[in-house]
Each structure stands twice: as C-alpha cells, then as structure tokens.
Chain A
Amino acid sequence: MPGERLADCSISDLVREATQGDQRAWREIVDRHAGLVWSVVRSHRLPDPDAGDAFQTTWLRLVESLHRLRQPDQLSAWLVTTARRECLRLIKRRDREIPDADALDAGTAVHNGGTQLLGVSERPVDAPDAALLRRERNHELLDAYRRLPARCQSLLRLYLADPPLSYQEIAELLDVPVGSVGPNRSRCLNHLRKLLGGPNDAHDVEGGR
C-alpha cells in the first residue's frame, strides 16, 4: 500500500494491511463503516450506554476476527450481523423489549429491483445564515422521528444507513418479509409528515430550501 492513497484502497487491501498491524488502514476501515454500524445499533433503540457498548464491542470483535475473515469484501455484511448480535445480547442481558418488529405490517409485496436504496440528492450549498435554520429544522425533524412507533424508527434508521443496506438486509434485521420494506417505509414517512404537522404537500419538494 505504500504511496497509495488510503481512500483508494479496496476493503480487502485494508483488511490485509490491518491484519498486519497497520493502524492507518484500521482507522480507514473504521471511518468507512462507523456510520453503518451506528445506524444498525441505533435502529435497536438501546439506551446510550448500551448503544456505546454494542458499537465498541463490534469493532473489538472485528479485530478478533480480522485474520480469519473469509470474504473481506463482505465486511459491511459482517459488521451488520455482528452489531445486531451484540445489540440482541444486550437487550437479552437487560431483559428489555425488542423493538416491536413483528407488528410491521407485511403488506403487499412490491418489486424492488435495485439494492441501492436512495439516490444522492442534489442539494444547493447553504448560505451561512441558513445553517442555523437547518439545525433548528433538524431538531424538529428528529423530535418528530422519536415520536414515531418503534418499528418505524428502526426501519427509517436502517433505510438511511451509509453505506446503504439492501432491502434484503433491512428485512433480515427487522425480521419481516422483504416485500414489506417499501410499503412500510412509505407509511412511516406519511406518519412522520403528520407528526411534523403539515399536510403532505407542505414540504417544498422543489429543493428550494
């Protein structure tokens, strides 16, 4: 990897280097996947100390397993599975309720061809004074999100994971049929819109925020 930019390295290369003790490669692995692992942990709606425990344990498990990772290119999937297992272990340990995933309406199956869930949105660069407004808006949005039913919170958090999860992965994490992911996502978004207090078309869809 000498002379090569870390950002250009494949996951397999990074895993190989990290296995040999390369700290920079390890940090790059963490930085690329931290958001994903955090999304999976957050989707289980654990209290903060448990969420922190599940997050860090996932990385320690990875160090432990690094040298026998059979398919380094499947690292995302490995991390998702491991993070989920740690969350379930903590839920069991503290005897808490699991997010009510079974209550997710199976709905009617829809055809979801792609695995990429959401295109990158084209957003104009905000003017400096817009930053404060956006922050305020984000707080309102997150407040509303936290009033959603548990199953909607889990679904939306997983749906927006970065790097993204496939419908199949989301369905497995929530233990629901893959065909229910799309319809439930739409239902949850409508619910969120109601909590935000506006009619469906109140949101400026032209991107002129």
Chain B
Amino acid sequence: MDDLTAADRALLADLRDAFQQLDPPPPHLLHAAHTSLDWMNADAILAELVADSAATGAPALRAAAPPRVLTFDAEGTTLVVEIVTVARVGEPAAGRRVIGQVLPAGDANVEIRTAYGAAVQVRADGHGRFRATEVPAGPLAFSCQFDDPTRTPFVTGWTTDQG
C-alpha cells in the first residue's frame, strides 16, 4: 500500500520529466559506454585510477598548465602517465605529449585512444617507458599488451577532461 497523494504523484512525475529532459546520461558518456565492449578484450583486466594530479593540485595558482600525472593500478602492475599540453601561437592546445612507464617494466604494445576513435600505438621499451607526441585533445584511455604472454593485458577507463 503506497501512501502517495495525488499531489505527490504529480510532483514526482514532473520531477522525473525534469531529470529526463535536463539531466540525462551525457551523450559523450553514452558513447564511451557503447564502445567499451570493443575497448576491453576478453582477457584484459581494468586498471583502476589511483591518483590524478588534476584532482589534488591547485593549477589555478600557476601561470602555465602543469603536466597532468595519472597513476593506474592493474592488479599489481602500475602505469604512470604524464600528459603535457603543447601550446603553439595561434593554435592553443595543438596537441599533447604523453610520457609513460609501466612497472614492473616489460616490453609491451601500448595504445593511447582518444575519445572519438583515433588511436596512437607506441612501444614500451625494456624499462617499460613509452612516449607519444601529437596526441589530440580530449579524454584519453590506455591499453597495454605485454610481449610476455604470462603477463595480463590491461586497459584503463577514459580520463575525464579537466582543462
């Protein structure tokens, strides 16, 4: 037995309308959700974002944008990436440089995806280090496939764009 009055029902219906119209799941998030089956292959695991310099720093106090450092953990394998925005005259945020390292180190294929499909493929060397330039603006996601078949491949979720 529900105790809703007619006025309650009407207000709830209006509120539901307001949520649906003004705060539905954002299209870019829906897009990311739609593509996540394609992004994660069956044997990969999801690396968790454990630290984000954008979440803790105070970038507003600095004149130049500091590099953003993200740390992911995939069941004991750590991925650290530094994202540096390269600004050119007349072409702000023309591209970004991504420098990263996988630890424990190992030769691996690293893929950097940008939000709308473009992907940059790079190799991580014996020290687990990799580097990519001209990475377009927008959210990024990383995947890593080791040459060593006993090591579990992993992918990360999309970084949120925080300017």
A93 near B46 (CB under 8 angstroms)? no
Complex interface: chain B residues within 8 A of A42 (CB)? 23
Q: Mark B11-52, 1 if CB is under 8 A from A, else 0.
A: 111111111111111100110111011111010111011100
Q: Does B10 contact A (CB under 8 A)?
A: yes
B158 near A145 (CB under 8 angstroms)? no
- Docked complex: A128-186 residues within 8 A CB-CB of B: 134-135, 137-139, 141-142, 145, 156-157, 159-160, 162, 182, 185-186
- Docked complex: B29-82 residues within 8 A CB-CB of A: 29-30, 32-34, 36-40, 42, 44-46, 48-50, 55
CA distance A104 to B40 in the complex (A): 40
Given A56-B157, A60-B46, is A23 in contact with B37 using a C-beta cutoff of 8 Å?
Answer: yes
Specify the chain B residue showing the minimal Cβ separation from A160.
B16
CA distance A62 to B157 in the complex (A): 12
B17 near A138 (CB under 8 angstroms)? yes
CA distance A12 to B10 in the complex (A): 35
B22 near A56 (CB under 8 angstroms)? no
B2 near A160 (CB under 8 angstroms)? no
A57 near B33 (CB under 8 angstroms)? no
Q: Does A49 contact B (CB under 8 A)?
A: yes
A63 near B25 (CB under 8 angstroms)? no
Given A38-B24, A56-B158, is A192 in contact with B11 using a C-beta cutoff of 8 Å?
Answer: yes
B10 near A64 (CB under 8 angstroms)? no
Q: Does B162 contact A (CB under 8 A)?
A: yes
The smallest beta-carbon distance between B95 and chain A, in angstroms, is 22
Q: Among A123, A138, A182, which residue has the most Cβ atoms of chain B within 10 A?
A: A138
Complex interface: chain B residues within 8 A of A203 (CB)? 7, 10-11
B160 near A53 (CB under 8 angstroms)? yes
Complex interface: chain A residues within 8 A of B55 (CB)? 93-94
A121 near B13 (CB under 8 angstroms)? yes
Of A38, A61, A138, A182, the contact of B21 (CB 8 Å cutoff): A138
Q: Does B89 contact A (CB under 8 A)?
A: no
Q: Does B110 contact A (CB under 8 A)?
A: no
Q: Among B1, B21, B37, B49, which residue has the most Cβ atoms of chain A within 10 A?
A: B37
A118 near B9 (CB under 8 angstroms)? yes
Complex interface: chain A residues within 8 A of B22 (CB)? 138-139, 142
The smallest beta-carbon distance between A130 and chain B, in angstroms, is 12
Specify the chain A residue showing the minimal Cβ separation from B21.
A138
CA distance A89 to B49 in the complex (A): 10
Q: Among A55, A56, A113, which residue has the most Cβ atoms of chain B within 10 A?
A: A56
CB<8 Å pairs between A and B, sample of 19: A30-B33, A38-B24, A38-B25, A53-B157, A55-B33, A56-B29, A60-B157, A61-B46, A63-B40, A64-B45, A113-B1, A117-B2, A118-B13, A134-B17, A145-B18, A189-B11, A193-B11, A203-B10, A205-B6
Q: A38-B24, A60-B39, A160-B19 are in contact. List 9 more A-B contacts (CB 8 A).
A: A26-B34, A53-B160, A55-B33, A56-B157, A57-B46, A93-B55, A112-B1, A121-B9, A142-B22
